[in-house]
Chain A
């Protein structure tokens, strides 16, 4: 099992550009989520999904879109990047009600 994989590992964007952060898991987990971590802060929930076709907002959803067309994939889209979105992004997955497993992260810088 590869677990939770994320691509790319690093990305630099200019303000206003768009991009998609990829996340995939091979554990057949129903639940997937995106968090961001800023310096000196804990992880904060952006969006989550409890199954294919079902998504919902977390604590800090503004500026991000998600979709879940398959159980395995949960991409995070930035439509118009802003410097405030400079952060490290983590994808996680789990069975419902169980501990979440995290990917290695994507470090995003918006200039």
Chain B
């Protein structure tokens, strides 16, 4: 049973526009959420995180929104750049634990 779901396997966005990647979760014990970016043949790179006590966190072009009642989070990238083309993983961590549960990833393609 998937506890973290990324329902869009791929997403194509024009350069300069906004990219919105979505993630849903089912486990109410998750209290910390992270987004990772992964290029082929490399390890995942941490992008941004959000604690369940917040509903928004911003870091430069990246903003993560958390809607706890809907068990939904999204990553916004504005403006999208060619180097943003990668696979993006949503991950969640339960209260009192360190191990992460990952979604299957969304392949973001930025079109010139």
Contacts and interface: CB of A to CB of B under 8 A. Distances in A.
Interface stretch (B39-47, B69-77, B78-86): B39-47
B4 A42 contact: yes
B89 interface: yes
B99 interface: yes
Given A50-B98, A97-B98, A100-B100, A42 B105 contact: yes
A102 interface: yes
A75 to B, nearest CB: 17
The size bracket of the interface on A is 20 to 34
B99 A48 contact: yes
Contacts, number: 56
A88 to B, nearest CB: 9
Contacts of A102: 36, 43-45
A42 B102 contact: yes
B56 interface: no
18 contacts: A4-B43, A33-B98, A42-B4, A42-B6, A42-B91, A42-B103, A43-B44, A43-B91, A43-B100, A94-B98, A100-B46, A100-B98, A100-B100, A101-B46, A102-B36, A102-B45, A104-B41, A104-B43
Interface of A: 4, 31, 33, 35, 40-45, 48, 50, 58-59, 90, 94, 96-97, 99-105
